[in-house]
Each structure stands twice: as structure tokens, then as C-alpha cells.
Amino acid sequence: MAKLLRANAHHGAIPGFKRNMLLRELIPSAGMSEMTMGCAGLDFMVFGESYFYRVPNMWGETIALQQLPAINMRVKVGGGFVQLFADGKEEEFDQDEIVHVFNYDVEQNVYGVPEYLGGLQALLLNEAATLFRRRYYNNGAHAGYIFYTNDPNLSEEDEQALQEQMSASKGVGNFRSMFVNIPGGAEKAIQIIPVGDFQAKDELEKVKNITRNDIIAAWRMNPALAGIIPENSGGFGDIEKIDRVYTENEIRPICQLFNQANAVLREDRRFAWREPPETTGNTV
């Protein structure tokens, strides 16, 4: 899941944007800094879970929370946690040393699961379409083809020269070209037979747009907040209202999940969340 963040522009940007919205709501404290919540928030968006180490004082009170990278954390059988390191070493933690904030999964309650998993196939298709078009243009001829000739007068030296020229012009993409000489053939002496073509201008755009919509739907991200250019003159509407509604329905519930980490801090070390702005007008 961490590597897939680099597979698509929207999928890579949205978790960071939602983390920034979470930080906007945070009122930091001595027990929870912006950096700690920022790292934990990004972990939660990407992996569906975050881990905090409870930093104790000499009386056993939790005076600060230290974020532990979720990608390295494992839940031990029988209770407790272990952190894996690149050099093969491990550090174990007791159950009460860690605060595990996670997104509940209906199939298990050991690890958190992100909610965008339903959009992974669209994400991979979006990446494949981009890579295909990139390799298509990297290829010198922009398409694979069979160079066919039935000229009996073509010498072996000429054949070799043509093959070398075609090989030299071929790009580094997926497409390959072939040279075939069939003496005694009828009618046309030389033919170019296309093998793969991607000339339809709207095919890539269709794939990119459809998969992009699936990706932002999987993230439950409003198009106005996802950096999408509107296709109509009216745009997406009032961006301030969109931001307010999205914050109330998506970001603040995540804030509530992180309150379980706040509860273990000593009272004078607890963080808080920004009060929602007052709205005017009638409500239904």
C-alpha cells in the first residue's frame, strides 16, 4: 500500500491532503505535537491504523505520545506489539505501552484496514494506461509493425542494412518490429502491417477519467477538493461549503477516533480539536 502511493497522482495526493485537514483541526499540546499527529494521521489514511508509544514519567503517567511507523508495527499473538527494524532487530512493547488507533474491519479486529481498497483495481488500471502511453511514445515508431517485402531482387546486404536501421530506430518500450522477406510474392513488393496501435485520441482519456473517478470515490473525496478541473463553466459550487461539509462528515469522525489516544495523556498534556465554525441561515 505504501508503494501504491506513487502509482497515481490523485491516490498519492489525497492522503496527504486529508492529513493536512486533520492537522488544521488540531490544537497541539505538550503531549501531542503537530509533527506527531501529522505522521500518525498519514499512517491512518494510508494503512487504516496508527500507533503511539506512551512516554511515561517516573510515576507512570503518560506525559507524551510518540508516533511509531505503522508499516513496521505488528500485533503479537497473545497481546502486545513488536516493532520491526531494517537490520532485522525487533523491539517488543507490552499491551499497555501502545495506543493502537485503527479503522475497524468487519473480518478481523487485529489490524486496521483502509477504506480505499475497493478502488485498487482502478488505481492499477490508471497506472497501466499511463505506462502504456509513455512506452508507446518512447518507442521510435509509436507502434509495432511487420515490415514485409516480397522483392526477389533484394540482396542479403540490403536486408541486413534494413534490419539494422529498424533495430536502431526502435525505442525502449514494449513494441517490437520485424523484417520479413518472401521472394516470389505477388502484387505489392513492400508492405507495412501494423501490429499494435493506440491512435484513438479519446481512449487514454476515457480510461484515465473513469479510473480517476473510481479512485476519488474510493477515498470519498469531493472532486472540488481533489484538484480536478471542472468541465463546465459553473464549476463544483461553493468551495467553502464543500470544505465545511466534508470536514464535518469525514475529518471530524477521524478526530474522534484519535481521542482514544488523548484519553491516556495526563490531563494537562492533552490536545484538543478546533471548534467547528458557526453557520448562518436556516437548517433542515
Identity of the amino acid at 9? A
Choose among 1, 47, 42: nearest CA to 22: 42
Considering only CA atoms, which of 237, 224, 257 is closest in space to residue 216? 224
Q: What is the pLDDT of residues 2-11, one digit of tens each?
A: 999 988 888 9
Name the percent of the chain in helix, strand, coil, to the closest 5: 45, 20, 35
- Beta carbons within 8 Å of 197's beta carbon, 6+ residues apart: 143
Per-residue pLDDT at 282: 47
Q: What is the rounded CA–CA span in Å between residue 209 and residue 163?
A: 40
Phi/psi region, residue 142 (left: phi>0; alpha: psi -120 to 50; beta: rest), is left
- pLDDT of 151 > 50? The answer is yes
Q: Is the pLDDT of residue 185 over 80?
A: no
> What integer pLDDT is reported at residue 157 of this predicted model?
82
Cβ neighbours of residue 7 closer than 8 Å, sequence gap 6 or more: 123, 124, 126, 127
Averaged pLDDT score across all residues of the chain: 84
Report whether 47 contacts 105 (CB < 8 A). no
Based on C-alpha coordinates, what's the Rg of the chain?
28
Count Cβ neighbours within 10 Å for each residue of 24-51 and write b for 16 or more, e otherwise: ebbeebebbbeebbbbbbbbbbbbbbbb
Q: Is the pLDDT of residue 63 over 50?
A: yes
Label residue 152 left, alpha or beta by phi (over 0 means left) and psi (-120 to 50 means alpha). Answer: alpha
> For 10-41, what is each residue's pLDDT tens digit?
899 999 999 999 999 999 999 999 999 999 99
